[in-house]
Structure 1
Amino acid sequence: MTSWTQRLRGHPVRPPSSGMTRRKSLWERVHLDPWLLLLLLVLMTAGLGVLYSASGQRIDVVIAQGIRFLVALGGLLVLAQLLPATLLRWTPLAYGAGLLMLIAVELVGDMGMGAQRWLVIPGVIRFQPSELMKLAMPMMVAAWLSRHELPPRLRDLAVCALIIALPVLLIARQPDLGTSLLVGAAGVFVVLLAGLSWRFIVALAAMAAAALPLLWMNLHNYQRQRVLTFLNPDSDPLGSGWNIIQSTTAIGSGGVWGKGWLQGTQSQLEFLPERHTDFIVAVLGEEFGLVGMLAVLLLYLLIILRGLWLAAKAHDTFGRLLGGAIILTFFLYVFVNVGMVSGILPVVGVPLPLVSYGGTSSVTLLAGFGILMAIHGHRRFLPR
């Protein structure tokens, strides 16, 4: 955290002219990082292969996911062309629009699986505005802190707390506790990267721990049941404990090398619930074993390391804060999904990034990487 703070206190400067102009490569002209893009493409390709098995070998599901990936990659390319200064100017508008859409969900949102989380434009699209806030909210926090002295003072932290709390509370009311916590974490990552002292961090952690009883009292019954099931899945093996028992059984049965692609019994015989969305890691573990899971986790690690390197190279405070938060949030998605499927975290309904079936989530994730590439690709331009 110290290295981030030292960089944030510096001033952006233009690189000295060498007297010679080097011809820009194609990647530089389109402001894309080829290594990060390659890693993302490999992950998405592997994800389509796992999805084919997890969906019961339904090619239509794979094609639908592939089309979503293409749309998301188009969004990545478009966002990568934007100057960081342009992103900074648009941030308040994006945040305000996100809040309005969350309020619209509260008033006229579409119901599904017992929750009111979607907005529907008839005949056009059905989407979750909470996914958009995963980017708009950390952008707003980064924009605010980039205009003030760092490390942030108490007044600035209070404003950041308000920026974070508004979307978190609206999402929690849908109810969608998992997404609300992830959105909140994205904002908290920005604040941490701004250079908080460890004493302040410890104090905040103590306050959060003290607030846990209040949080427990305000949880819905099914949310409390998820926590209790996490603590003791065998208390209701045919009910609330079924998901986690089947997922851990599937992962364990894969052994070191796995049973082979399309050969998983737990997934192919439909013992495994939500196998093409939240629990797709269990399909991966059963069919490709420990080796397959480690290979995918290594791919995630390389993406995260490359992303952090790009964020650290940003030449302005807004870029470093936002880029770092985007990558840390991506890491949190992976950690939470793998943790809940393997039984070390409660089930919160978080998909595995770019592997689980889903449209809005894929678009949001790749949009975040597009913003990161814009920050890095335009790093020689100073904010206006």
Structure 2
Amino acid sequence: MNTVLDTVVIGGGAMGSAAAWALSRRGRQVTLVEQFGPGHKMGASHGTTRNLNPGYHQPEYVAMLAEGLALWDELEQESGEQLLARTGVVNHGPEPRFAAVAAALNEAGIRTEFLSPAEAGERWRGIRFDQQVLHMPDGGQLNPDAALPAFQRLAAARGADIRHHTKVVDFQVDDGVRLVFESAAGTEVVTAAQAVVTAGGWTEKLLGGAFKGGALEGAGDAKLRIPQLRVTQEQPAHFRIADDGAVWPGFNHYPGAGAKYRNWYSPVYGMHTPGEGIKAGWHGVGPVTDPDLRSFLPEPVQLAALQDYARTWLPGVDPDAFEAVSCTYTTTPDEDFILDRIGPVVIGAGFSGHGFKFTPVIGRMLADLATGTRPAPQIFRAGR
């Protein structure tokens, strides 16, 4: 039997859940399928903290930040859940773009202030600050473990069909999209008017046979060339708090040249995860992985370097008492997202370790693409 559906969203992580929410608000018939169970830890959308770091100066991202702050508020009110802890975010280090970031955010009505390292250290003594400090009080930490169920619950209340433990094992494009689902109930063949692909590290695996020569082929001669996606296993750690009186904002530390940054892999991000400690990690430099064959074990050299970082720059933690954690990044070459459409296929991919803060906006943008309302900005087009 061939089931005919309107819009199938493939992948029930952050972006797929937000797309289902946004589409259901428009009265669309939505079926969301996720190969794993609720709250799984196989991808990128688990855990209780993600920084909402407003530190952007590009106009497309700044506009998304302003919209996102309003949408997170709206989602909190609609769901009755607290999803954002407004601790503020501090970015520091010899980063030349801080002035441009402050100017762009202030113009958009997002607050900023510059502090000296000494002033910042008085406020947040658990962190040793480096050269210059940009404080963004509208930032904070989002809770994926609360946000994903909220998106899905609200979508289901508007009629969306949310199916966990349902894997798409075949994906073919013609005038519509032919899908084969596998679940405990058996195998089901589905024809969808359109599919929204939000499969994270599984994106290229899922599209598999629909890719020809690096391009996704739609009906007729339409093609969508997709930037190469690099899937990595990222390995932050939760360090035990040693200074119980310290106050913790979210933070990002940007390195410069010189001996004191010699063993750095990337900028460092961090935040307080209640009940687990201070989360800190390198950004997007973990080992390349197959999402179905992950070890979940930290790369020891990078982990040792992260401990050294904590020993030097985080006086409020115990660098020798930690719990390593694991997630995936799916990264584009320029770290800009892919939000585009070809024929009946909408793709949201390549969120490059900085997408979660934009989740409800990306849901709206994917819904725009699925309903033909408006295209995404050029920097997110697959053919850029």
Band of TM-score, shorter chain:
under 0.3
Query: TM-score, with normalisation over the residues of structure 1?
Result: 0.25
Q: RCO greater where, 1 or 2, for CA within 8 Å and sep 6 or more?
A: 1
Task: Looking at secondary structure, tell me which structure has more helix per residue.
Answer: 1
Q: Is the strand fraction higher in 1 or 2?
A: 2
